[in-house]
Amino acid sequence: MNNCSPKINIAMILAAGLGTRMRPLTNDRPKPLIEVAGKALIDYTLDQLADAGVDKTIVNVHYLADQIEAHCAHRTKPQITISDERKKLLETGGGLLKAAPLIGHDPFYCCNTDAILQNHKGKNALTRLQEFFDPEKMDALLLLCPLKSASGYDGHGDFSLSSGDESGPLQWRQDSPINAPLYIYTGYQILHPRLLHGPANTPFSAKNFWQCAMDKSRAYGLIHDGKWMHVGDPEGLALARKELENASIEQYDDR
């Protein structure tokens, strides 16, 4: 753990996607506004950021952008600035590059809106990320989830860690040693703006930034110590709703 980690006050939420895997629910609303247990997906992310002490959040928009703007207008914490991609969807990397002038020069959180984190023992997962982030040796720190702690996910994992600790340098799954534990990228990370280089106004993936950091041995992962719900399709949505309903019942029974 890096006890001298800088306080992170700014975040980027990637909310411009088309939500095709969530159809037909996204025929008339953007995926970030789909509700789980009475709360829009984007609000789960915004609440995590607010609880972690983030003051300013940038939200990029494209599909049904007016709905997301109207929803965000009711939020007072954190303060929200819109990065408008109505004319052209730039994917994750292009969207980050377009928002770079709004992000500034300090490390920032970058979050998706198709995941819900359950914090372990009251510790905010983003605060844990900040505590482990060391700008002297890292350009990217990704929050990873063990396969056993995930719902709504049917893949094989994205990364392994080159150490056996709760954090360490990242390795792609395909480059990992045989039988190495594999982890899922949760959609939550810290990036340093020095990574934000690429072709302007051109769609590309944020994986390019990860690869750049990995090439310099400056990409790390931190294992999430709570549950992670991927809400990327109707099946994942149903599982998340059931998980949160059960959590509410357990909380009530403990009173």
CB within 8 Å of 217: residues ≥ 6 apart: 169
Residue among 3, 2, 69, 5 nearest 42 (CA): 69
Quickly state the pLDDT bin for 252 (edges 50, 70, 90).
Answer: very low
E-assigned strand segments in 25-139? 35-36, 39-40, 56-61, 79-84, 108-111, 115-117
pLDDT value of residue 90: 95
In angstroms, rounded to a whole number, what is the distance separating the alpha carbons of residues 46 and 52? 10
Fold exhibited by the domain 10-253:
Spore Coat Polysaccharide Biosynthesis Protein SpsA; Chain A (3.90.550)
pLDDT, tens only, 117-162: 887 766 899 999 999 999 999 999 999 999 888 888 888 888 988 7
pTM for this model (two decimals): 0.91
- Domain-wise residue ranges, the chain: 10-253
Least confident residue range of 20-24, 34-38, 154-158: 154-158
Cβ count near 27 (within 10 Å): 9
CB 223 within 8 A of CB 167: yes
Helix 65-72 × helix 41-51 angle, to 10°: 40
| Separation between Cα atoms, residue 46 and residue 48, nearest integer Å | 5
Which of 2-6, 75-79, 194-198 bottoms out in mean pLDDT, i.e. has the lowest? 2-6
Q: Which of 2-11, 111-120, 121-130, 185-194 has the highest mean pLDDT?
A: 185-194
Give the CA dihedral 27, 32, 33, 38, nearest 10 degrees: 130
Of the candidate ranges 47-56, 157-166, 186-195, 211-220, the one whose mean pLDDT is the lowest: 157-166
**What single DSSP character describes residue 119?**
-
- Which of helix, strand or coil describes residue 82? strand
Neighbouring-strand partners of residue 84: 61
